[in-house]
Amino acid sequence: MERMDVLVIGAGFSGLRALHSLREAGFAVKVIDAADDIGGVWHTNRYPGARCDVESYDYSYMFSSALEQEWRWSERYATQPEILRYIHHVAERFDLRRDIILDTCVTSAQFDDALGRWMVTTERGEVYDAQYLVLAVGQLSTTKRPCIPGIACFEGRVIHSAEWPRDEVDFEGKSVGIIGTGSSGVQMTPVIAQKARRLTVFQRTANFSIPAANAPVSEEEDRKVKANYAARRRQALDSPSGLGFVPNGTSVLDAAPDERTEVLEAAWNRLGFGFALAYKDILLNQASNDIVADFIRAKIAAQVDDPATCALLTPTCFPFGTKRPSVDSGYWATFNRDNVELVDIRSAPITKVSAQGVHTSNAVYPLDILIFATGFDAFTGSLLRIEFSARGSTLKDKWAAGPVTYLGLGTEGFPNMFVLVGPGSPSLLSNVLLSAEQQVDWLRDLLVHARAAGVATIEPTAKAEREWVIHVNERSRETLYPKAASYYVGAEVEGKPRVFMPYSGGVRAYRRILEDVARRGYEGFHLRTA
């Protein structure tokens, strides 16, 4: 049995950052991951067109200014291969691999109350003994595939966007179908359309999408960012979403129509995911949101030639931004191509898959390749796949009505267990990498404090947890987010409890709360000495 101070589960961005920072602080740390290499979702989401929806300079580690200065991003929105190269570079540069165990799937973890330690068991039966568990399992890493009758009979190839094969998929001369029009479907559609003989996109819900305005990063731009990197990071830490620009502090409703159009045009052409911050109340006020949603609908109309296709592609049933909008490169115009067809599976649902292809209630679509871009069991899927138990209860039971946490970091009854960028934290409502780093820094300070004070176990109090859950819900009700059937509320999986999961108070508010809690001696946690 291997013993360590901290076992981190997950070798993606947040797990690697936890390894580096906790090891630097003098803890014996190991990271464990089921995959055959590091990178988390960036290791597995290799579909064509995969790239980040946050600008590369913001979606990169901030813990090392030397790293910031030496890494050269080639594009404003990095592609998946470039991001994976960056992750590998970081692992080499900071000698992380020696503490990473790959190809090892954790199946259960049991807290030994007498010892104050976690016993973590893998699929192969190995046991790891750790004082602290850090769950860096990702919010979008348990894939979701609809159970369609007949799928096993399909004679073509079936691929999930997040389980993309390592070898290149040849689309040349093929009929390809994509089910799903979230970020993955929206990113891959224009790329596959250029290669496939025929592309059929099966859409259940039309989605908002903002142009990536991607471009190569010039030498001058790179120099400029690097000369002011610290200020850009401060700005990001002080922003609602963790992005490195100053958000507009005015209301959509206070702007004159001409000025509003000018502001929205500028944001549309430059901000990508940050478009939602073009005004301060786009996600807070329905009337403001309606104006902005109409602006986007007009953009779709200007790009899609066929009125019927345009009507289907136009989102109408939820406020803009309440489902995470996609950031695309030529999505709408792709539907003007002769080899691309949009199929509305809301009005004519998929009934089965046969050997030849997909059947809907009114047509058959012969296919060579069927792609599921159907997303994930978000937030809790990867956490609840592992059987965590402590003091006679399991996490699955405790979270049966939805996840409850204190600060998104821990849950009462499960001492010495910490979650990174999970439910109850800004997570997917923010630049996830920045949010992960923010949490890791805070957690490192907590563990250093505990070590110095001879603390054996750290556990949220029931009261602090109750109050945090209330706070998370109150903050969500100040926004429009709860109006959509999104993965933020658990609507993406049938039967999943409908609770609002991320913290919508923003990155800055969350940071202030964390700082405050630390200043008050980690208020809300029981720190028990041995």
- Site residues (CB under 6 A) for ligand N01? 52-53, 140, 146, 161, 179-185, 187, 204-205, 324, 327, 345, 373-376, 428, 487, 492
CB of 44 to ligand N01, least distance (A): 11
Structure-token pair, residue 58: 């913001």
Residue 343 in 3-state DSSP?
strand
Q: Torsions phi, psi of 3, nearest 5?
A: -115, 145
Which residue in this structure is represented by tokens 């067109």?
49
Q: Residue 211: CB partners within 8 Å, gap ≥ 6?
A: 268, 269, 272, 327, 328, 329
Give residue 353's identity as a one-letter amino acid code.
V
Amino acid in the structure at residue 345: I
Nearer residue to ligand N01 within complex by CB, 183 or 239? 183
At 28, phi and psi to the nearest 5? -85, 115
CB of 413 closer than 8 Å to CB of 390: yes
Please name the residues in contact with 386: beta carbons below 8 A apart, sequence gap of 6 or more.
Answer: 9, 106, 107, 108, 109, 137
Position closest to ligand N01 via CB: 182
Cβ neighbours of residue 222 under 8 Å, at least 6 residues apart? 72, 73
Distance CA 318, CA 310 (A): 17
3-class secondary structure, 134: strand
84 and 43 Cβ atoms separated by less than 8 Å: yes
User: Coil, strand, or helix at residue 15?
Assistant: helix
- The dihedrals phi and psi of 466, each to the nearest 5 degrees, come to -60, -45
What is the identity of the amino acid at 508?
Answer: R
- Is 16:90 a contact under the CB 8 Å cutoff? yes
Q: Are 504 and 481 in contact (CB under 8 A)?
A: yes
The sign of the dihedral angle between the CA atoms of 85, 53, 33, 133 is positive
**Rounded Cα–Cα distance for residues 44 and 34 (Å):** 12
DSSP 8-state assignment for residue 297: H
Let me know: does 10 contact 422? Beta carbons within 8 Å.
no
